[in-house]
Amino acid sequence: MKRLHGWRTCQLGEVVQTFSGGTPNRSRAEYFGGHIPWIKSGELNQKWITKTEEFITEQGLANSAAKIVPAGSTLIALYGATAGVVGRTRISAAINQAVLAVIPDQNQIDDDFLAYVLNHIGAVLLRLVQGAQPNLNAGLVRDSEIDLPPIPEQRKIADILGTWDKALEKLDALIAARAHRKKALMQQLLAGTLRLPDFKKRAWKAVRMSDALERVFRPVEVEQSESLALVSIRRRLGGLFRRPDVLASEYKTQDLHAIAAGDFLISKRQVVHGAWAIVEPEFDGALVSKEYAIFVNHAPEMLDMRFFAWLAQTPRMLRLARVASTGVHVEKLIFDPDVFLREQIRIPGDIKEQAAIAAILDTADAELRLLSDKRTALDQQKRGLMQQLLTGKVRVAV
């Protein structure tokens, strides 16, 4: 049925062929380590695949369901963490069973246009196929209805969207460069190998953490009908986040404590995974359970807490957290605040240098957040435009 002049609605399977691959027997060493690149679904998060983590041999290819796709092929991940993600390969390679190759009929659908169609289809299908591990399959992909313009209009649409992709790629490169710069600054400034001009004559010193930090308890009593403003800490230095509000009568732990802006908060069971952070003003007055340790700075003339928050992101500090935790398994380790406070740290002797270092790193971090927000907004704009272009709601001049 025609919807627009020159357009038609069809199922994707009418204009493409599809096939997936397979995995050679892992117990056969002679099937791996050859010269044939082998693409797994997790590698599709690259827009263009130019290399693979693993290679298989001619024997591995012949004795498995693995199949070769030519350079330029469009691929979609069927399941796993990258389900629905679309990638294209610049190399001839074999694919595994979680990767679906989608080969276009060149007389009906353009390669670049197909890649954008699959991006759109993948997102739509994943919303329909819910579950802890959403899975797609070739049938779902092939049965998807698409709006198909003439080839010249397909190419024009792909060119427009390609311009947006180039802008996103440039922004990604800038973000990567700024992240690398921030990491280098952290390594040098927090170790004292890069000194600020105004403080080069001032020495760093070793101090015991208990000289500046102390653990505090701020127990609170709550009414059973009260809505609790609870927070938790993300792993991998992800900072604090608010948990959904819950009534006190529905919350199992009644031993709650208040936190304040400027505190340093530690998850006693997750700190080995980087779950500690300074409390930002937005979380002032929020509540945590007894599973958290709260530290305050009782020597502000000695230690700048913003500086300490950055220092806590270094590998050495994370190792100290691990050393101060006891247990038989990494997932069951319990942090001991007293052991931790006995450890030493090296800090600038001048509190002003600590503040200056923290300000530099805060600025670098803010810049990265702004760039990340810009990238998110640009990507959302591109997706909105893609939806309109692929459905003909916005037409292009050919």
DSSP-derived secondary structure for 318-369: HHHHHHTEE-SSGGG-EE-HHHHHTSEEEEESSHHHHHHHHHHHHHHHHHHH
- Alpha helix stretches (DSSP H) within 190-237: none
Comma-separated ranges of CATH 3.90.220.20 domains in the chain: 8-148, 203-349
Q: What is the mean pLDDT of residues 283-294?
A: 96
Q: What's the CA gap between 225 and 247, in Å, rounded?
A: 6
Q: What's the CA gap between 69 and 120, in Å, rounded?
A: 22
- What's residue 130's pLDDT? 56
Banded model confidence at residue 389, pLDDT cuts 50, 70, 90: very high
Q: What is the largest CA-CA distance in the chain?
A: 79
Q: What are phi and psi of 214, to 5 degrees?
A: -145, 150
Q: Per residue in 61-91, pLDDT tens?
A: 999 999 999 999 999 999 888 888 999 999 9
When the pLDDT of each residue in the chain is averaged and rounded to a whole number, the result is 93
Q: Per residue in 153-200, pLDDT tens?
A: 999 999 999 999 999 999 999 999 999 999 999 999 999 999 999 999
User: Taking Cα atoms as reference points, which of 381, 335, 394 lies closest to residue 168?
Assistant: 381
Query: Which tokens sit at 396?
Result: 């292009």
User: Which burial class, exposed, middle or buried, applies to 176 when counting CB atoms under 10 A from its CB (0-12, 13-18, 19+)?
Assistant: exposed
% of the chain at pLDDT higher than 70: 97
Q: What's the CA gap between 20 and 22, in Å, rounded?
A: 7
Q: Which residue type sits at 261?
A: A
Comma-separated ranges of CATH 1.10.287.1120 domains in the chain: 151-196+350-398
Query: Which tokens sit at 121?
Result: 């289809």
User: Which burial class, exposed, middle or buried, applies to 59 when counting CB atoms under 10 A from its CB (0-12, 13-18, 19+)?
Assistant: middle
| Secondary structure letter of residue 106 according to DSSP | T
Query: Which tokens sit at 51?
Result: 């290399």
Half-sphere exposure in the Cβ direction for 102 (13 Å, CA): 36
Query: pTM for the complete prediction?
Result: 0.84
Is 99 within 8 Å of 44 (Cβ atoms)?
Answer: yes
| Secondary structure letter of residue 295 according to DSSP | E
Banded model confidence at residue 136, pLDDT cuts 50, 70, 90: confident
Q: What is the CATH number of domain 8-148?
A: 3.90.220.20
Q: What is the CATH number of domain 203-349?
A: 3.90.220.20
Banded model confidence at residue 233, pLDDT cuts 50, 70, 90: very high
| Secondary structure letter of residue 281 according to DSSP | G
Query: Which tokens sit at 166?
Result: 């180039």
Q: What's the CA gap between 172 and 9, in Å, rounded?
A: 35
Banded model confidence at residue 2, pLDDT cuts 50, 70, 90: very low
Q: Which residue type sits at 56?
A: I
pLDDT of 131 > 70? The answer is no
Architecture of the domain spanning 151-196+350-398: Orthogonal Bundle (1.10)
Q: What is the mean pLDDT of residues 331-344?
A: 95
